[in-house]
Amino acid sequence: MTTTYKAMAMTEPPPNDAAGGKVTGQNFDDRKFDNAGFAGMGRAERELTGKPILLIEDDATLNRLMVAQLERAGYRTRGVLRAQDALVVIKEDEPALILLDIRLPDRDGLDFLKEIRAVCPVIVITAHGAISQAVIALRLGAHDYLTKPIRSDELELSIERALDHARLTRSGDFMKGQIQSLMRTATIGSSPAFREVQRQIRLFGPTDAAVLLLGESGAGKKQVARALHDASGRAAASYVVLDCSTVQENLQENLFESELFGYERGAFAGAEQRKPGLIEIAEGGTVFLDEIGALAPPLQAKLLRLLETGTFRRLGGVTDLPANVRFVAATNRDIIALGREGKFRIDLYYRLSRFEITVPPLRERGEDMVEIARHVIKNRTFNRDIDKALDAGAIRALRAYRWPGNIRELKNVIERAIALSGEEQVISAAMLGLDTRKPARSGTSIDFSFNFLPTIDELQTHYVEDLLSRGTYSRAKIADALNISERTVYRILKNRKVTDEKITDAPDDA
């Protein structure tokens, strides 16, 4: 059952207003707000280590009603009428979640939000029609907002999402250190290939031009995108992410539009109030479009219009609004090939790729893999404060492995090895658990996941060097195996600068 807080017929006299506030009744329903909205959530899912929800609402009657309802739903809840009282509760009993009315008698709600946003997730409550304040609150770090009259289903969903977020971050120092470490991990490296990426970040970051990031899955494109934002003049503003690959086919158009552009009241079933999209939330900042190659053609047209005109329309709206954001996009697909197949608009590609950065796979970054592994080990949130190090065998194993999963796989391998090492200080090759029977060969790797389709020449070269790695050094044997001429074999070997004495003699007709 969906209910709202409006003028409610109470079954018993309302409690006395301890603050002497006037009971207006405008935010209560004429039906009793019951527990139906929370029926789908189990008590174990709703409770978070005994920490309370803190409600800061100066309407005493609404405050008491919401506190009682939340407690019936299984949440330990404390309600206060003023910001001053809230600070006392925060100090005495650190809350899991704060519900904050923007209009408070003793403080400006937005200023107070800045003060408490680091404590836990904050859901702001605004008066009907005060959408501009809600947007500002989101930019200042609020997790979500609700407008009066408050609907039970919206309250349920917002609290559930916020507490999910709190569960993920309840070990605050641990998670903050881990996240910071993950961001640093993908920007660590001294190899020539990655120094070029770092140089491009320094060059392109300060501009407002769109940047397209190319590279395999797990290579660190997300972290490079964030580094571009941090290197820009927009670093102090919002950075928001939209993963284009997560949009379901049957809901894609409306879902994408509502997420990116927002929607007006009545735009679709269930749209009972205006909702800002990522463009508005990121005002003055950066929007990162991850896996842009997965975007369906109809949505590519809408994104192209935004990039060309610098304006957008909320879903269901009739007014063009200015978009003051910088776009960074990323893909692990061959956009040009998709364009030739009619699956991606070439004009959109040109708009998104004013600058391009190719993030190299880990196997092409030389000693970076060892440097990144050592960085993860030094992160004391993983190693129980025991100084650990890789032994010589482990370093050889890291160098020999191909790393198809790139940095993401390397981090998982190292974290698992740290756990397996227990109280030991040395991490061995056996703890890494890598299959190094097929060693990596610098500069000759072929991505057989076909995120980037290899050419025939690349396949031939890869196969020749695979035969060489097995000890087959005769040009004649290689030519016979590939059904090509010895001259072609010689050309491949010469181009790859192979200098073994058994294969450097050129054929007579070379």
Read off the pLDDT of residues 246-271 as tens digits, 9 standing for 90 and up.
Answer: 654 444 566 778 888 888 888 887 77
pLDDT digits (tens, 9 = 90+) for 39-65: 334 443 444 446 889 999 998 998 998
- The dotted CATH code for 36-170 is 3.40.50.2300
SS3 call for 59:
coil
pLDDT at 311 exceeding the cut of 60: yes
Q: Which of 177, 216, 172 is nearest to 51 (CA)?
A: 172
pLDDT at 5 exceeding the cut of 60: no
Alpha carbons within 13 A on the beta-carbon side of 366: 8
pLDDT at 99 exceeding the cut of 90: yes
Report the topology of domain 362-432.
Answer: Helicase, Ruva Protein; domain 3 (1.10.8)
Residues in a beta bridge with 77: 53
Beta-carbon contacts of 92 under 8 Å, excluding residues fewer than 6 positions away, are none
Provide mean pLDDT across the span 178-205: 76
Where along the chain do its domains lie? Answer: 36-170, 205-358, 362-432, 456-495
The rounded distance, in Å, linking the Cα atoms of 198 and 223 is 12
Query: How far is C-alpha 448 from the chain's CA centre?
Result: 26
pLDDT of residue 247: 58
Which position has the higher pLDDT, 169 or 116? 116
pLDDT of residue 328: 97
Give residue 352's identity as a one-letter amino acid code: L
CA dihedral angle for residue 273, residue 278, residue 284, residue 289, rounded to 10 degrees: -170
Question: Tokens 């890789």 belong to which residue?
Answer: 390
pLDDT at 100 exceeding the cut of 60: yes
Provide mean pLDDT across the span 278-300: 90
Which position has the higher pLDDT, 341 or 501? 341
The CATH number of domain 205-358 is 3.40.50.300: yes
pLDDT at 152 exceeding the cut of 80: no
The answer to whether 292 and 333 have CB atoms below 8 angstroms apart is no
Which position has the higher pLDDT, 386 or 66? 66
The rounded distance, in Å, linking the Cα atoms of 389 and 442 is 25
SS3 content of the chain, % helix, strand, coil (to 5): 45, 15, 45
Which position has the higher pLDDT, 168 or 235? 235
Provide mean pLDDT across the span 456-466: 69
pLDDT digits (tens, 9 = 90+) for 19-39: 333 334 445 343 334 433 333
| Fold match between domain 36-170 and domain 362-432 | no
pLDDT of residue 92: 81
The answer to whether 33 and 68 have CB atoms below 8 angstroms apart is no
182 φ/ψ angles, rounded to the nearest 5 degrees: -60, -40
For residues 242-264, b (16+ Cβ closer than 10 Å) or e, as one string?
Answer: bebeebeeeebeeebbbbbbbbb
Q: Which of 356-365, 372-381, 435-444 has the highest mean pLDDT?
A: 356-365
Ranking 199-203, 326-330, 376-380 by mean pLDDT, the lowest is 376-380
The rounded distance, in Å, linking the Cα atoms of 275 and 255 is 13
pLDDT at 288 exceeding the cut of 80: yes
pLDDT of residue 466: 67
Average pLDDT, the chain: 76
Q: How far is CA 339 from CA 53, 131, 332, 359, 465, in A?
A: 51, 40, 14, 21, 32
pLDDT at 217 exceeding the cut of 50: yes
